[in-house]
Structure 1
Amino acid sequence: MTKRILVATDFSTRSDRALRRAIYLAKSLPASLSLVHVIDEDQPKRLVDAQVETTGQLLQEQVDGIREMDGIDCDWQVIRGGPGASLGIAAKDLGADLLVLGPHRQQTLKDVFFGTTAERTMRTSTAPILTAKGVPNGSYKHVLLAIDMSDCSSDAIEVFNGLGIGRSAAISLVHVFDAAAATMMTRTAVAREEISDYVNDEKRNASVALLKFLENQPIDPGNIHIVAEHGSVAATIATLAAQISADLIVVGTRGRNGAKKLFLGSVAEKIIGEGECDTLAVPPSERSN
């Protein structure tokens, strides 16, 4: 069955990166493509109407070019509203299997209070969101699956497999664990060797738990590299991704809206912010809520 990819564009070089990745995925999966541009409706109606007309012409030109040059089934849509909620709603209405965004611009004051477009979209979208940060260069070669052994992690693995965007890639499965007593041991002047032994014990326990978790996942443990590390989750994942030259990080999100989502989804949002490569953020299924 042909998949459907929705790609957000604002005609910038950032969104061009997302479009190029979306075109490559559409050709390789295969999938149809929908280009979406959001116009801020918080301005005079006359200006909004003019922007809708101009934007529609630009999108039609892009769609015509993609159809002719790439042979992809492609259409476009202009939406009035805020980019975060509007993109999530559009993805649901269109039945999109994947929503592709470009890297975020330099942080503004609005982002500080309300979050970036990717973060706001994550809070409303039921479709997985691919943030295209890296320069598109063929298929993904090394994928880092960031998991916490929850149902949300199972959802992320299942969706990643179902999308088929990393079929030929090497896979590293990473779990960042919390050696809770390590900080207290440091504060109470426990010997370094004892602290190191404790952390190593926790690492072995985490590795065993990972293998147990994988027994019920649609992935072959023999074909992946398993890593358990202690530290700050987002920073550790970003560091490991750089060390192994990962070009895609896959992470599950938690909750769906409100304060619960703001707190529980912060790890995924930080990974998108701190990582240098593409990130696939997978929202939870109904069973995980």
Structure 2
Amino acid sequence: MKRILVASDLSERSDHAIRRAVRLAEAHGASVTVAYVVDSALPAYIAAHVQKQATITLQTKLNDCVPDPKLKTDIQVPVGDVVTEVGEVAEQVMADLLILGVHRRRLFFDKIKETTMERLIRHSRQPVLAVVNPAEAPYAHLLAAVDLSPACARAVRLAKALLPQARIGLFHAHDVSFHKEAERDYATWLAVAGLDDDLPPPMFVEARPVDAVDQIMKDNDHDLLVMGAHTRSNVGRFLLGGFSSDMIRNPPSDILVAK
């Protein structure tokens, strides 16, 4: 993990994302780029003013949360479509991870329209960390959703590399009872995916995945949910599955999404 990109909207939610990026960058010796995209629909003279003010604002935010002067930081404020421009900045800086602040919920519009955050996660070629909570401490206890897919294997592998000191728990949810079959399939998946043998045995929960997360989160101290963006096959690697979309729209904690 050498280059981290934060997509900011200048809100307090994005401030949490910047602080989390700085924590991870310090742990991995990585650089941090913070990007804010100015709406291309603005008149040119207004867009130029917003660019200038946004750059000043982002620099102030970085100064407030970067204790180490040796940490490499960069600010980019392009004009255009937010999804397109964030993708281009990510490619330009060769980002290994995209970090976002979780969007402000809109109870009506979120039901009928894809959020900007969902669009960013869906189009990103990098794994994405969606930040809900203040970055007051390193992640300590991860919860990984496992549906025995390649995407979930990538998610577990990413989490262990990004946060090697954190505890990790796995769960596999199923609507009907087939515990023995699930255990057998999990053992096969573990071997095929080439994951480490030191992973803890998963919790097998007879419930919908969304309900399983709710149940587990209530009873434990997990501070990060880890999942694949699209779970069933590599064909949908840049799509969001139903479970992923549900978690992104109603995050129970910070979320790490592998692609």
TM-score, with length taken from structure 1: 0.79
Equivalent position SS for 2:40: coil
Shift of 1:69: 4.3
CA contact (8 A) 1:18 1:102 kept: yes
CA contact (8 A) 2:158 2:258 kept: yes
User: Paired residue for 1:172, among 169, 173, 184?
Assistant: 169
Equivalent position SS for 2:192: coil
State how far apart, in whole Å, the 2-side matches of 1:3 and 1:107 are: 35
State how far apart, in whole Å, the 2-side matches of 1:70 and 1:80 are: 29
TM-score, with length taken from structure 2: 0.88
Q: Which moved more, 1:15-24 or 1:235-244?
A: 235-244
State how far apart, in whole Å, the 1-side matches of 2:100 and 2:92 are: 17
2:204 aligned residue: 228
CA contact (8 A) 2:179 2:204 kept: yes
Deviations 1:50-70 (A, max 9, x none): 111221222344455666645
Task: Give the AA of the match of 2:227.
Answer: V
State how far apart, in whole Å, the 2-side matches of 1:99 and 1:42 are: 25
CA contact (8 A) 1:3 1:30 kept: yes
**CA 85–177 in structure 1, closer or farther in 2 if over 3 Å, else same:** farther
**CA 9–97 in structure 1, closer or farther in 2 if over 3 Å, else same:** same
Deviations 1:59-90 (A, max 9, x none): 34445566664531001101222333432332
**CA 67–169 in structure 1, closer or farther in 2 if over 3 Å, else same:** closer
2:128 aligned residue: 129
**CA 160–139 in structure 1, closer or farther in 2 if over 3 Å, else same:** same
Task: Give the AA of the match of 1:203.
Answer: H
Q: Which moved more, 1:60-69 or 1:130-139?
A: 60-69
State how far apart, in whole Å, the 1-side matches of 2:61 and 2:219 are: 37
2:255 aligned residue: 279
Shift of 1:175: 1.2
**CA 65–247 in structure 1, closer or farther in 2 if over 3 Å, else same:** closer
**CA 30–212 in structure 1, closer or farther in 2 if over 3 Å, else same:** same
1:268 aligned residue: 244
Equivalent position SS for 1:215: helix
- Residue segments in structure 1 that go unaligned for 5+ positions in a row: 180-198, 284-289
CA contact (8 A) 1:18 1:132 kept: yes
Task: Give the AA of the match of 1:90.
Answer: V
Shift of 1:39: 1.2
Task: Give the AA of the match of 1:172.
Answer: G
1:240 aligned residue: 216
CA contact (8 A) 1:17 1:136 kept: yes
- Residue segments in structure 2 that go unaligned for 5+ positions in a row: 231-235
Task: Give the AA of the match of 1:88.
Answer: G
CA contact (8 A) 1:27 1:72 kept: yes
State how far apart, in whole Å, the 1-side matches of 2:47 and 2:138 are: 38
1:24 aligned residue: 23
Task: Give the AA of the match of 2:104.
Answer: R
The question of 1:214 aligning with 2:190 is answered yes
Count residues in correspondence.
Answer: 254
CA contact (8 A) 1:247 1:277 kept: yes
Q: How does 1:91-130 map to 2 (within 5 A)?
A: 91-107=90-106, 111-130=110-129
CA contact (8 A) 1:207 1:227 kept: no
Deviations 1:116-162 (A, max 9, x none): 2221112210001101112213221111111211122222223333x
Shift of 1:238: 3.4
State how far apart, in whole Å, the 2-side matches of 1:28 and 1:218 are: 26
Equivalent position SS for 1:11: coil
Shift of 1:43: 2.2
Q: Which moved more, 1:31-40 or 1:144-153?
A: 144-153
- Note the aligned Cα RMSD (angstroms): 2.3
State how far apart, in whole Å, the 2-side matches of 1:153 and 1:96 are: 21
1:72 aligned residue: 71
2:153 aligned residue: 154
Shift of 1:212: 2.3
CA contact (8 A) 1:98 1:127 kept: yes
Q: Which moved more, 1:116-125 or 1:209-218?
A: 209-218
**CA 235–84 in structure 1, closer or farther in 2 if over 3 Å, else same:** farther
**Higher share of residues assigned helix:** 1
**CA 206–70 in structure 1, closer or farther in 2 if over 3 Å, else same:** farther
Q: Which moved more, 1:96-105 or 1:107-116?
A: 107-116
